[in-house]
Structure formats: C-alpha cells, structure tokens
Amino acid sequence: MSVFTDKEIEYLRSQKLGRLATVDGAGELHVVPVGFSYDEADDTIIIGGPILRRTRKYRDAVQRRVVAFVVDDVPPPWQPRGIEIRGEAHAADVGGRMIHPDFPPDCIRITARKILSWGIEGPRQRMDPSERRARVVGQPTA
C-alpha cells in the first residue's frame, strides 16, 4: 500500500519537473529544479539526470540523506496545487531511465516520511493554508 493517495500519485505522474532541496555539511541549503518519476514498485520518488553523480544535489542527498521535494503548478483560473515530500534519500543504480531513456540508470530515491499536499484532492474555493493536508508516513531509518 502506498503512502500517497491515489490523487497524489495521479498528480505526480502528470508532472515532469520538481524542486529538490538538500543541505550540505555546513548547513547551507541548495534547491534545484529536477526531472523526476514516481516508482510504484517501491513507493519512492526517483530523481535523475545526465550527469547526476557529479552534482552537488547528488553529493548532498547521499551524504546527508535528509531532503525535501516539491512539485506544484497553477492550472487556470488560479487553482494552486502541489505536494511537498520530506524524507530520506539514498543512491540507487536503477531508475534514472524511468525519467528519460537517455539518462544513466543511477538515481536518487526518496522515501517519504512526511507528505503535505494542497489542491490535489479537488478544486478549492479559496486560497486557505489550513486546507493543506500534512501527514507523517514513516520514521527515519538509522
């Protein structure tokens, strides 16, 4: 069973670009746009790219393991929606090609620990931050 709702999975599958936030050893934040895919087999978010292993995002994610990932958009007429996933990252040798067939197979896999979504379950009548749905879905591993 997935930690994501059916609507969240449908939304993730409809998008191609998200933003990955990592932190380095000095506590400096790094946020970058990334290609991604949802992998139903292990309920993870896959981040990849043509030179992934040479990037700061890869180094920070693999060394620190704590990441946040956001996917959002604004369909007309101004209906903001999105999902924030906080969780653990780990390096994997399989999955990069799920994002694009020309990418190498290596990737970052994110296991969700906290999920916050808005506007995905259905249209909203007004912009109200209390409509956001946050839930803890797992505990960090040692």
Is 105 a residue whose pLDDT tops 90?
Answer: yes
Please report the pLDDT score of residue 141 as a whole number.
Answer: 66
Distances (CA, A) of 71 to 16, 131, 139: 9, 17, 22
Is 127 a residue whose pLDDT tops 60?
Answer: no
Is 122 a residue whose pLDDT tops 80?
Answer: no
Residue with more model confidence, 32 or 133: 32
3-state SS, residue 66: strand
Name the token pair of 16: 């191609």
Please report the pLDDT score of residue 130 as a whole number.
Answer: 57
> Residue 27 CA to chain centroid, in angstroms?
20
Please identify which residue in the block is written with the tokens 């209390």: 130
Please report the pLDDT score of residue 142 as a whole number.
Answer: 56
> pLDDT tens for residues 27-83?
999 999 999 999 999 999 999 999 999 999 999 999 999 999 999 999 998 899 999
What is the C-alpha to C-alpha distance for residues 113 and 136, in angstroms, rounded to an integer? 6
Q: What is the 3-state secondary structure (H, E, C) of 51-62?
A: CHHHCHHHHHHH
What is the C-alpha to C-alpha distance for residues 56 and 39, in angstroms, rounded to an integer? 23
Name the token pair of 31: 């946020």
Mean pLDDT (the chain) is 91
Q: What are the structural domains of the chain?
A: 6-133 (2.30.110.10)
